[in-house]
Structure 1
Amino acid sequence: MAFRGPAFWGLINPEWSLCNKGRRQSPVNLEPQRLLFDPNLRILHIDKHRISGTITNTGHSVIFTADNETSSAYGTPQIPVNLTGGPLSYRYRFHEIHVHYGLHDQFGSEHSVEGYTFPAEARHIQIFGYNSQLYANFSDALYRAQGIVGVAILLQLGDLSNPELRMLTDQLERIRYGGDEAPVRRISVRDLLPDTEHYMTYEGSTTAPACYETVTWIVMNKPIYITKQQLHALRRLMQGGPDHPKAPLGNNFRPPQPLLHRPVRTNIDFRNKLEKGGKICATMYKDVHYKGRRGWVMWGKKENIQ
């Protein structure tokens, strides 16, 4: 039996012991009945200006990394993009975007809701930033307290793609093999966010070794859209080089980890809104965003729709 995959990370390398022994690991299963409404949570803010960077097939994942603000690939200084607000007490500087997906629609999820892994969540992106008020760079912040913020955005199949996501997937043919990279110019990180101010948040870890427990996770409440053509292009990527391509890239995800006693807060107010006369508003449970394989799953309520 080969010792590989997430279940063995803590055994392969002693420096990865948190992957097996940690108490604040990610991703997790988000249970609507356990969400805690926090009226003090603010709107997440990401700077709107565009930046340039490089998209890379690492052989394990697809990652877009921002150019350093002092060494842009296009020869001009680049103003960093900051993430503030939400549950964050500090200013975080955008560093990179990870693309996760399964080779089949039913696989690939990381964060799940009430035990369901959705076709919608079999593909998602993660936006990472580091605490630039306390630490000098991403590598330094990665293993330090309150070092990293991760914003998880689900990708759902649709006829029209998110325009900023399309800027990334347009380069996939140039990064077909492991180690390939291509420049991406003038992308808006903020415009990758879905059209919602609602999210869930908890304290967790990176979802790859060494599983450092330094990440404030923000899971957005709506998806953005990806087309079948874009998903097919992702699934054509290979792990190795052109001479030894190995297996297709994909299935680059970690299964849910125990939540234990961690609180999961949200700015979604589930309290019943009453009409005049004390009747419950008929639309209070109609805010449906994700479809599971066995029915619709809503934040706060689950029901089957024929």
Structure 2
Amino acid sequence: MELTTFANNLILASMITLFGIHKGVGQWSDWWSYAGFSGPSNWRINEDWVLCSEGKLQSPINIAAESLLFDPGLKNIVVAGNKVSGNLTNLGNDVTFSVTDPQSVTFSLGPLPYVYKLSHIKFHFGRKDGMGTEHTIDGKQFDAEVHLIAYNSDLFPNYSLAEKAPRGLAIVCLFIKTNRDTTHTELSKITNSVNKIQFRGNTTEIEELSIQTLMPDNLQYMTYEGSVTQPGCYETVTWILLNRPAFVGEHQLHALRTLRRDSPRNPQAFMFGNVRPIQPLHRRTVRTNINTSIKCPIKREVSYKVNKNIIKQ
């Protein structure tokens, strides 16, 4: 085993030298991916990404329904603002909508102790339906997963300063399911534009994307403390996973699956499969404001009986 580990590290070191990725040369952001030698199991070779392998609050996780803790003290999420404009960019490993509006949209209350300002939206999806989400529910995936990533605007002026700080980020997670007879009107603003961002580095403008229309009407959720799911895996995220998925047309998800993660010189390198593997829970609690009204089948009878052996004075 030690010999195998040594050999793997030697290969990785050789690759780093080959690509010129070391201090002062090259960019780690151009190196990492979701598969192969540059995949999740080897993100650790960048010393700044040590949390990816050593962290105890990593994401994504599997949500076991039976282990959810109903917390009656969890308030509803407050979403302030609605329409935002920004740039939709093919980053190779994902497609990201970056908000450029100075006012933007904010999230507060729920499990959040501060106000969090929407910074960008990332899309994760698989090659086929049922294999496109990072988080799983009882071991099962949805078709895609959307991350609405916000930073703590009460304490920090921008995302870059907040991402490494405790309580710095909040990510609202929206699961996606396909429906043959459905078209998600708001998501069409994204999917109708993917032909303009087919290859890595391509970008286009999107105007007046309605965040509240993108999200379901029912904002019941599950929440836990975790991390960013891409390098450097910073453990600064309060996750809010919405209970109700959004339904989109098959053609809309198919449009995302046409995106490439490289240049036109490598047209067969598709982006789909940009999903990090499930991480250990490490005794974390996943809370919810969903009251299932399930009664405990074990009855506990508590009573007080006078000890008859007590001698009255």
* TM-score class normalised by the smaller sequence: 0.7 to 0.9
- The separation in 2 between residues aligned to 1:34 and 1:139, in whole angstroms, is 34
- Describe the SS at the equivalent of 2:280: coil
Match runs of 1:70-219 below 5 Å: 79-117=103-141, 121-158=142-179, 159-219=181-241
Please say if residues 109 and 255 of structure 1, whose CA atoms lie closer than 8 Å, have aligned partners that are also in contact. no
* TM-score normalized with structure 1 length: 0.81
Match runs of 1:1-306 below 5 Å: 3-10=37-44, 12-69=45-102, 79-117=103-141, 121-158=142-179, 159-245=181-267, 247-272=269-294
Structure with larger Rg: 2
Distance 1:106 1:224, change over 3 A: closer
- Describe the SS at the equivalent of 2:186: helix
Which amino acid in 2 is paired with 1:99? F
Uncovered stretches (5+) of structure 2, i.e. residues with no partner: 1-7, 9-35, 296-313
Structure 1 residue 176, shift from structure 2 partner: 1.0
Worse-matched range after superposition: 245-254 or 173-182:
245-254
- Describe the SS at the equivalent of 1:167: helix
Uncovered stretches (5+) of structure 1, i.e. residues with no partner: 70-78, 274-306
- The separation in 1 between residues aligned to 2:291 and 2:60, in whole angstroms, is 23
Percentage identity across aligned positions? Answer: 39
Which amino acid in 1 is paired with 2:122? H
- The separation in 1 between residues aligned to 2:266 and 2:122, in whole angstroms, is 24
Please say if residues 235 and 249 of structure 1, whose CA atoms lie closer than 8 Å, have aligned partners that are also in contact. yes
- The separation in 1 between residues aligned to 2:237 and 2:183, in whole angstroms, is 28
- The separation in 1 between residues aligned to 2:185 and 2:215, in whole angstroms, is 11
Structure 1 residue 271, shift from structure 2 partner: 2.5
Please say if residues 47 and 190 of structure 1, whose CA atoms lie closer than 8 Å, have aligned partners that are also in contact. no
- The separation in 2 between residues aligned to 1:19 and 1:244, in whole angstroms, is 28
- Describe the SS at the equivalent of 1:164: coil
Structure 1 residue 170, shift from structure 2 partner: 1.2
Structure 1 residue 245, shift from structure 2 partner: 3.1
Which amino acid in 2 is paired with 1:238? R
Worse-matched range after superposition: 209-218 or 226-235:
226-235
Which amino acid in 1 is paired with 2:278? P
Structure 1 residue 162, shift from structure 2 partner: 2.4
Once the two structures are superposed, residues 282-301 of structure 1 have per-residue CA deviations (whole angstroms, 9 ceiling, x without a partner) of xxxxxxxxxxxxxxxxxxxx
Once the two structures are superposed, residues 162-206 of structure 1 have per-residue CA deviations (whole angstroms, 9 ceiling, x without a partner) of 222111111111111111111000111122111213110000000
- The separation in 1 between residues aligned to 2:37 and 2:199, in whole angstroms, is 25
Which amino acid in 2 is paired with 1:32? A
- Describe the SS at the equivalent of 2:120: strand
Q: Of Structure 1 and Structure 2, which has the larger fraction of its residues in helix?
A: 2
